[in-house]
Amino acid sequence: MKNNGFTKKVAVIGTGFVGMSFAYAALCFGACDEMVLIDINKEKANGEAMDLNHGLAFARTNMKITAGDYRDCTDADIIVLCAGVSQKPGEDRISLLQRNREVFQSIVAPVLYSGFDGVFLIATNPVDIMTRVVWQESGFDCKKVIGSGTTLDTARLRYLLGDYFTVDPKNVHAYVIGEHGDSEMVPWSQAMIGTKPIREILRENPETYKCDDLKEIAVNVRRAGYKIIQAKSATYYGIGLALVRIVKSIFSDENSVLTVSTMLRGEYGVNGVFAGVPCILGRNGVREILTLKLEEEEQKQFANSCGLLDSVWKDTFLS
């Protein structure tokens, strides 16, 4: 932590739906001591800071909330990057790449100029590739450049499985891995209720639980973003809470396991690609990747998702 070591400071860049859902949840949860809001639209950032400050009297912790600029990143511990364009109904995440890359180019340089040396946490889509962009532009250790990855998809999966098996989602241990997007996958061989494999539960209760239902749940997780955007034009509460969960895990040095987007360096036979995988998260970012023992077909699917992310990267930036 760079500042006095006691103050937990977050800079939120991009005060749109996602940035402000994070900021509001961070205030409600007391996730940090200081929060600075930065946006190309300064008036919006100012208004948002005023609005949040007016809730301080009801919040359970005190927090210094201001609108600022990139110089304020100098002593931030974590930058939450939510700036950029979002999907329109029917649009996929990859199609945002070129536009959001330009947005990020205007952000990362002044952030580095401020002297920031904390953890970058990226939410902007396509999140795995945007995280790779920040890693490349910043030159930071890859452990300190994290994407929200499949954290939200994993939460959606746990919610739907909890509902299906009538079990508290907190006791559902299952992950979505790979791209936060159309090629993401669920390694069912690693899915448990408590410590009991879900497949074993299916085998023991063939009348109640069906393999096809699980497939449908995976599809619903993958399509959730599209459905919400169709219905209300944007998704933000879920990701706002997911970002708070990640930030808390970093600040408290929790060493929690979350499926953030991180750079794979040989894990699962993949090199140089950022993708969502279960990681142990501590004070300095990703402490280590928790490598799952995937079955052959799962490994193929995961490699396919990473291959897609890599080829989009190469086609866009190297050709």
Which CB sits closer to ligand NAD, 43 or 207?
Answer: 43
Which CB sits closer to ligand NAD, 235 or 259?
Answer: 235
Told to check if 81 binds ligand NAD by CB under 6 A, we report no
Indicate if 180 belongs to the active site. yes
- The residue from 23, 76, 97, 103 that contacts ligand NAD (CB under 6 A) is 103
Q: Write out the two tokens for 302.
A: 């995961």
The length of the chain in residues reads 319
- The residue from 1, 10, 12, 17 that contacts ligand NAD (CB under 6 A) is 17
Strand extents, DSSP E, the chain: 9-13, 34-38, 64-67, 78-81, 119-122, 145-147, 172-173, 192-193, 196-197, 256-258, 261-265, 271-276, 279-282, 285-289
Told to check if 148 binds ligand NAD by CB under 6 A, we report yes
Told to check if 86 binds ligand NAD by CB under 6 A, we report yes
Shortest distance in whole angstroms from residue 203 CB to ligand NAD: 33
Told to check if 123 binds ligand NAD by CB under 6 A, we report yes
CB atoms within 10 A of CB 269: 10
- String of DSSP letters for 218-262: HHHHHHHHHHHHHHHS---HHHHHHHHHHHHHHHTT--EEE--EE
Contact call for residues 21 and 237 (beta carbons, < 8 A): yes
Told to check if 67 binds ligand NAD by CB under 6 A, we report no
- The residue from 125, 154, 183, 190 that contacts ligand NAD (CB under 6 A) is 125
Determine which one of 9, 101, 132, 180 is catalytic: 180
Which CB sits closer to ligand NAD, 96 or 279?
Answer: 96
Told to check if 12 binds ligand NAD by CB under 6 A, we report no
Told to check if 183 binds ligand NAD by CB under 6 A, we report no
Q: 67: which strand partners? A: 37
Q: Write out the two tokens for 253.
A: 């040095």
Which CB sits closer to ligand NAD, 33 or 182?
Answer: 182
Tell me the three state secondary structure of residue 57. helix
Residues 312 and 41: their CA atoms lie apart, in Å, by 30
Instruction: Name the residues that contact ligand NAD, by CB under 6 A.
Output: 13-19, 39-41, 44, 82-87, 96, 100, 103, 106-107, 123-125, 127, 148, 152, 180, 234-236, 239
